[in-house]
A and B are shown apart, each in its own frame.
Chain A
Amino acid sequence: MIPWDKLHGAMTHFPIALLLFSTACDFISVTFKKLGFARELRIVSFYALAAAAVASLGAVVSGIALTNGDLWGRGNFGWHHRFVWPAFALLIALAVWRVLVRDTMSRTGLYLYLTLMLLASGLVAAAGYFGGELLLSGGGAP
């Protein structure tokens, strides 16, 4: 039997960390665009976002297997899902958009993208928080 609780606990940290890291790299590169490594930071953020999107698929699949397909629920479990699904949708959309646009984005596109990255980071952090609360109250991996 596959230990989905442990797998979900392990896999879910990759998209969270990679998305937050990507957002941080983007903001640093925009804020300090005159620095020599600003362009490299943009490249790092691009690959981190793409990796976060791919890793999120594993986190979602293991989560669905863990809950036997229950996508909503109540209490902390419900809150976890209320943040997870918008975060997942936004993460996929941002990654696809970034892959297609690459570095040809306009100033408006860049600011909209950064705003949505901040929103996605907030949603992912909230989902992670309620996931952690589930764990502390005994609902996750022992």
Chain B
Amino acid sequence: MKIPLEVKSAVAAIGTSVFILVATFTAAGFYRSQVAGQAQAGSQAPAGENLAAAGRRFFFQSCAHCHGQDADGGEDAPSLRKLQISGTHMALVIQSGIKDEMPSFAKKYNQHDTAALVAYLQTLH
């Protein structure tokens, strides 16, 4: 029985798509672990220090004067309590800033320090 070209092509297409998706997810996982390792190495937070405790320290250094000592918002900045966004999204905001509203902290805090800040913000829920 001769298999039509359309069916053979569909099998090849699904195979290629699955292969690319698996390769993407594998590469992303590898990249993620590599970034986490690098961030840990260059962190300002002492290795033994609790992540959220380090984040609290960074919060009072850089965030509290706008967002308030209790993180419940200031005159020009919103409350950071009960944020309804993911940790990765919080990290993106800290790293990228918000145009005309909040500066980027990418130069001041590396990935691990940002993760510490996010860990602290998540304790405020």
User: Which A residues are closer than 8 A to B by beta carbons?
Assistant: 1, 5, 60, 64-71, 73-78, 85, 88-90, 92-94, 96-97, 100-101, 104-106, 109, 134, 137-142
Q: Identify which of B13, B24, B32, B92 contacts A93 (C-beta below 8 A).
A: B13
A sample of 21 inter-chain contacts (CB < 8 A) reads A5-B92, A5-B96, A66-B92, A69-B31, A69-B33, A71-B25, A71-B28, A74-B88, A74-B89, A75-B84, A75-B85, A88-B21, A88-B24, A89-B18, A93-B16, A93-B17, A96-B16, A97-B6, A100-B5, A138-B92, A140-B92
Query: What residues of chain B lie closer than 8 Å to A5, measured between beta carbons?
Result: 92, 96
Contact A101 B24 (CB under 8 A): no
- On whether the beta carbons of B28 and A104 are closer than 8 Å, the reply is no
Chain B: residues with CB nearer than 8 A to chain A?
4-6, 8-10, 12-14, 16-18, 20-21, 24-25, 27-33, 35-36, 84-89, 92-93, 96-99, 101-102, 104, 106, 111
